[in-house]
Amino acid sequence: MHIKNIVAIGGGGFGRSLGSLEIEKYIISLVNKKNPKICFIPTASGDNDLYKLNFYRAFSKLNCITSHIDFFSRTEELEEKVLAQDIIYVGGGNTKSMIAVWNEWNLHTILKKAYSNGIVMSGVSAGAICWFEKGITDSYADKLEIIDCLGFVNGIACPHFDEEKEREPYVYQILQKEIIKSCICIEGNCALHIKNDFEYISINFGKNKKCIRIFNENNQLNKEIL
């Protein structure tokens, strides 16, 4: 039976600054290989070239065999490419548009197969919330919204919880209105490692950063640090 791993990063990492590559090293440590194969999927940024360049700089430094998948130029054979990897890393950007493109190309079912086969799923922001049932996104210009995601793991997730001032009040509002019952909130420079769907490990690669589950119980909001 394969061990299943998701590393959902709330913000930070190579997309902002190469730095010490702490969270990237953590992701690689989940694969017991000297030169793991890692594939970057930058759909949410519209396949941004600078983002791809930073990916190659970061993971080449860590002795990985690197590649990426484009959807806004000619797209290669997806299943063969994805299932040959050890790690998938999904970049940040517009979550709603990313998932729409993936659905059109049937990538969501290929990723689910890869996840079940023990390929590590990881990513930041859009690439963090996409693995959950639902995510809180700023894909819309003037508001935050809850959108359906891939559903590999249960729950609703919110990235950038301490980095973008509108996130925390929005989460409290939808909990108080009982639109949702709980939310996993991931701060910047922090990641949630989900092992085998249910085991949660919080990875702080900043200064005292954390993952918090906020839930409504008997009309009272409670916080649980994961």
Cβ partners under 8 Å of residue 49, min gap 6: none
Residue of 152, 92, 149 whose CA lies nearest to 117? 152
CB 151 within 8 A of CB 132: yes
Q: How far is CA 132 from the centre of its chain?
A: 9
Structure tokens at 107: 């990538």
Q: Which of 45, 122, 125, 182 is catalytic?
A: 125
Active site residue 160: yes
Q: Which of 45, 122, 139, 160 is catalytic?
A: 160
- Give the span between the Cα atoms of 12 and 4, in whole angstroms: 23
- Give the span between the Cα atoms of 190 and 68, in whole angstroms: 24
Burial class for 207, CB neighbours closer than 10 Å (0-12, 13-18, 19+) = exposed
The catalytic residues are 125, 160
